[in-house]
């Protein structure tokens, strides 16, 4: 009986080959959708692809994505099946073979185009190949094949193919234009996911057209020549040839009415695209319009204010016009006169660092150094408007010239902590236990690591709060600061986890356990970014002659101020004199996120007597959460890149990813130590107020000798020149 069942099954499969193939293909595309969140969203977050207002539910979007993509994929398979079924009725193995080869080759070309266009890996292609399948029109290929097969010799094959191309070419060209322009409307929708899908659909249309007009005729001719041979060409009767060709030509003649409608559609669609991408400026020319005319277009919402740079084709002019628009609207045009905007490379800013740009704020950049760090001399750029800060840090670096500063990175790991919710505390605890099992963590890690060449998950720290589960993902991120990497990887890992816990609701990708840009004990205790410690043993003579104080005074002050005073204040990570001053100044100079000085300034400054008779001073700074990167964000701006280059850490490390960012973190920590020494010495010696009064508040009276007509008495009221400070900072 079992054998009979297998026999019936075999008869069914052999008797219905196309049906079996279509069924298996449909099941396959359905299975592919189980990891839609993994393959389709490599370049963008799921929520970003669908929603621009941050109010969409990520899991609803994922469910919608699965349903829509499954339907489209199944339609693509059924459409392809339908076309091959029609070809099968023709009954020619040549047509089936040639068309099949054409399809495979076109698919390869399309796949290569997608990889080149989007820089995607193979996992991303499964959602984009469907657009090639939906675009394939095998009827035209079959028609051209019939023209070729009706020939009696190879010369007639070539002539018939040429005749067929002359009939089919114009129609196919017009159809391709209509399809590309019509599908392209989807790229104007503003829905990120739809824009991506329509872009690749248009690419499929273009690739199929190019292959049909070039590769297919050549392949058709060569295949017929090889298959028939010189002496074995299957002859067709003259009357059959006579009947077939006029009949086919008559069928392929385009309907004049239809062609006219298509041309009208092409013109209308071109108008839609030109209006969307270039606005009225494309017709008039951006250079032909005055600023006032452009402003009128902005007021009438023909041009979006945030797209001025793109609309006028000149970034500096776009900024200039925006200044006029917002200045008039806010009535502060004159107030913006002192806000510079000219001679700046806005190409580095547009779409990357800032929006609605109206200028830039010049910040003075001072230089500290040389500072001896791990045997190497550095000159450290610091951007600040606080007087005495650079001079004070410079004095500290002079005190460290003999001994130098030794630094070490003790930990490296950026964090992102989503919050998810379960039906009850039982399920939340089950999920927490599941994460802590090594094999489950490894699966989450695999999902996380697939999203980036550099991001590598180290650990997950789960915390229960009722039926909520907060999970602190910790990962290395190469030379990037890494928040975007963490976000993409975390989202992927959550989707993987949800396959095991379908009742898990993702509340937010960030649940504040990270913690980013907020004071938090978790960063002080667990660390975030780069954890760095540095030390120096300052000789007694340098304490005396450079810092103008004594070792005992410094130690006593450090205990009373940085320990007792900070404890009374309830400080978190603030057991230092002014680490935030140096962190922020270096951050601004090197293109870091200045808001991250909140955690990055966590610092514990320790001082103790050292050496023979305790004459020397050992000072250390421990900074557990320095959040820095040398690629991405503001590091790509020219001025900030120059400051990174001065330190020898610009860009990604060529051989050891992450080393540049680590070195920058060590430089920050060592510079903090130099600044801590100088300020503490100024406080211990009582020179702080005197230094500020002498330098920050003082001025030098300069007589205006350039104007001899002024009287001597008026020269006493001449211009004043403020002297840059050389004293410690408060």
| Nearest-angstrom CA–CA distance, 454 and 431 | 27
Closest CA to 378 of 367, 387, 388: 367
Please give the structure tokens belonging to residue 92.
């020619």
Alpha helical stretches, state H, 279-365 = 281-284, 291-299, 308-312, 315-330
Catalytic residue among 158, 348, 402, 517: 517
Q: Is 662 considered catalytic here?
A: no
Which of helix, strand or coil describes residue 625?
strand
Catalytic residue among 593, 616, 627, 676: 593
> Are 655 and 483 in contact, with CB atoms under 8 Å apart?
no
Q: Cα angle vertex 13, ends 8, 15, to 5°?
A: 90
Please give the structure tokens belonging to residue 86.
């029609």
Residues 6+ apart with CB under 8 A from 512: 417, 518
β-partners of residue 538 are 617
Catalytic residue among 386, 505, 608, 687: 386
Q: Cα angle vertex 724, ends 718, 730, to 5°?
A: 125
> Are 687 and 651 in contact, with CB atoms under 8 Å apart?
no
| Nearest-angstrom CA–CA distance, 40 and 35 | 8
Half-sphere exposure of 128 (CA within 13 A, CB side): 31
How many residues are given for the chain? 730
β-pairing verdict for 406-416 and 529-538: antiparallel
Q: Is 225 considered catalytic here?
A: no
Report in angstroms the alpha-carbon separations of 253 from 160, 240, 248.
Answer: 16, 20, 9
Q: Is 517 considered catalytic here?
A: yes
Please give the structure tokens belonging to residue 263.
């041309």
| Nearest-angstrom CA–CA distance, 614 and 630 | 40
Q: Is 343 considered catalytic here?
A: no
- Is the previous residue joined to 370 through a cis bond, with omega within 30 degrees of 0? yes
Cite the active site residues: 386, 517, 593, 692
């Amino acid at each position: 009986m079992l054998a009979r069942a297998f026999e019936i099954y075999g008869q069914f499969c052999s008797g219905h080959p196309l049906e079996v193939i279509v069924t298996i293909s449909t099941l396959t595309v359905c299975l592919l959708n189980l990891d839609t969140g993994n393959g389709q969203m490599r370049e963008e977050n799921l929520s970003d692809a669908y929603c621009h207002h941050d109010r969409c539910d990520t899991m609803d979007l994922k469910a919608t994505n699965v349903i829509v993509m499954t339907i489209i994929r199944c339609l693509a398979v059924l459409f392809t099946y339908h076309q091959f079924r029609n070809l099968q009725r023709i009954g020619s193995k040549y047509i089936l073979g040639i068309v099949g080869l054409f399809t495979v080759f076109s698919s390869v070309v399309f796949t290569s185009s997608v990889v080149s266009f989007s820089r995607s890996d193979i996992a991303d292609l499964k959602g984009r190949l469907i657009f090639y399948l939906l675009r394939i029109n095998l009827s035209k290929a079959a028609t051209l094949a019939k023209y070729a097969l009706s020939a009696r010799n190879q010369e007639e094959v070539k002539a018939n193919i040429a005749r067929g191309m002359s009939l089919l070419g114009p129609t196919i060209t017009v159809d391709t234009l209509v399809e590309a322009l019509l599908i392209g409307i989807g790229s104007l929708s503003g829905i990120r996911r739809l824009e991506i899908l329509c872009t690749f659909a248009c690419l499929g249309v273009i690739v199929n057209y190019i292959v049909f007009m070039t590769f297919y005729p050549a392949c058709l001719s060569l295949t017929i020549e090889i298959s028939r041979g010189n002496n074995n060409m299957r002859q067709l009767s003259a009357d059959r040839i006579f009947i077939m060709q006029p009949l086919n030509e008559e069928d392929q003649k385009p309907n004049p009415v239809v062609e006219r409608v298509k041309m009208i559609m092409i013109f209308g669609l071109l108008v839609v695209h030109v209006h969307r991408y270039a606005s009225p400026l494309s017709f008039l020319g951006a250079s032909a319009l005055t600023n006032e005319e452009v402003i009128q277009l902005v007021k009438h919402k023909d041009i979006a204010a945030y797209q001025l740079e793109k609309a006028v084709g000149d970034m500096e002019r776009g900024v200039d016009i925006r200044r006029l628009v917002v200045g008039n609207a806010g009535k502060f045009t004159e107030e913006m006169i002192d806000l510079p905007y000219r001679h700046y490379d806005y190409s580095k800013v547009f779409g990357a660092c800032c929006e609605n740009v109206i200028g830039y704020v010049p910040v003075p950049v001072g230089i500290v150094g040389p500072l001896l760090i791990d045997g190497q001399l550095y000159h450290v750029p610091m951007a600040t408007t606080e007087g005495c800060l650079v001079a004070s840090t410079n004095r500290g670096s002079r005190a460290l010239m003999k001994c130098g500063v030794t630094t070490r990175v003790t930990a490296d790991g950026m964090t992102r902590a989503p919050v998810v919710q379960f039906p009850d505390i039982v399920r939340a605890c089950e999920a927490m236990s599941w994460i802590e099992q090594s094999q489950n963590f490894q699966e989450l890690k695999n999902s996380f690591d697939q999203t980036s060449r550099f991001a590598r998950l180290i650990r997950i720290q789960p915390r229960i709060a009722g039926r909520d589960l907060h999970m602190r993902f910790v990962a290395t991120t190469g030379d990037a600061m890494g928040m975007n990497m963490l976000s993409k990887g975390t989202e992927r890992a959550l989707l993987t986890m949800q396959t095991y816990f379908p009742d898990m609701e993702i509340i937010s990708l960030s649940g504040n356990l990270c913690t980013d840009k907020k004071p938090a004990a978790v960063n002080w205790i667990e660390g975030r970014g780069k954890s760095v410690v540095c030390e120096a043993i300052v000789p007694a003579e340098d304490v005396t002659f450079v810092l103008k104080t004594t070792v005992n005074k410094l130690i006593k002050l450090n205990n009373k101020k940085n320990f007792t005073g900070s404890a009374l204040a309830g400080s978190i990570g603030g057991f230092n004199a002014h680490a935030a001053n140096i962190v922020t100044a270096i951050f601004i100079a090197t293109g870091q996120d200045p808001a991250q000085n909140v955690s990055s300034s966590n610092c514990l400054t320790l001082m103790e007597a050292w050496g023979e008779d305790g004459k020397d001073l050992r000072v250390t700074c421990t900074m557990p959460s320095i959040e820095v990167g040398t690629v991405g964000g503001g590091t790509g701006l020219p001025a900030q890149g120059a400051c990174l280059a001065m330190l020898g850490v610009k860009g990604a490390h060529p051989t050891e990813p992450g080393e540049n960012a680590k070195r920058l973190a060590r430089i920050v920590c060592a510079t903090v130590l130099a600044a801590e020494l100088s300020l503490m010495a100024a406080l211990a010696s009582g020179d702080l107020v005197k230094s500020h009064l002498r330098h920050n508040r003082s001025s030098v009276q300069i007589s205006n000798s350039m104007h001899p007509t002024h009287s001597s008495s008026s020269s006493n009221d001449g211009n004043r020149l403020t002297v840059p400070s050389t004293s410690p900072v408060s």
